[in-house]
Amino acid sequence: MAIDIIEHRDDNAVHRILEALPEWFGIPEAIDGYAADAADDSYGRLMALDDGAPVGVVLTRRHFPESAEIHLMAVHPDVRGTGIGRRLVERVVDDLSADGCTLLSVHPVGPSFENGPLCPDPGLLHQDGFPSPGRARGPRMAGPHAHPGPGLARDRPRPR
């Protein structure tokens, strides 16, 4: 498996990846919306390619020069658990940090939801210096849920 992480805009590939994850992205209108976001120039986008075939995507949105959010992240089920999601997040952090961003928010869905966590490795963000958001109980809370880290600077010590 030769994985490349590149800046790439492909709304059809985003659509295919999300359709392959019906337990998490099972609403056709939502899939269409994310695919449209992938074509929108106001979103940053990275794709993971396996020998040229798109297998992962992350869309980011800059709200201010110093802050951004991960709007969407998905990895095709055939390659989940191989580190592609981690590589996508690491690349996002590297790129944003190099561009002066110091705060990244992410809105993971935890195991309290009927289909389990959307972030199968909750330690991923914690290991990268982001505090654990805890585990929500009951129905999904409305509104954004920022989980800011101590900044994106790579020279800061990481928790062990």
The more confidently predicted of residues 39 and 129 is 39
Q: Has residue 18 got a pLDDT over 70?
A: yes
DSSP lists the bridge partners of residue 51 as none
Collect all residues with Cβ–Cβ distance below 8 Å to 5 and sequence separation of at least 6. 46, 47, 48, 49, 87, 88, 91
User: Within 10 Å of residue 28's Cβ, how many Cβ atoms?
Assistant: 12
Average pLDDT over residues 26-55: 94
pLDDT band at 23 (very low <50, low <70, confident <90, very high): confident
DSSP 76: -
Residues 76-92, mean pLDDT to the nearest whole number = 94
Mean pLDDT, rounded, of the chain: 77
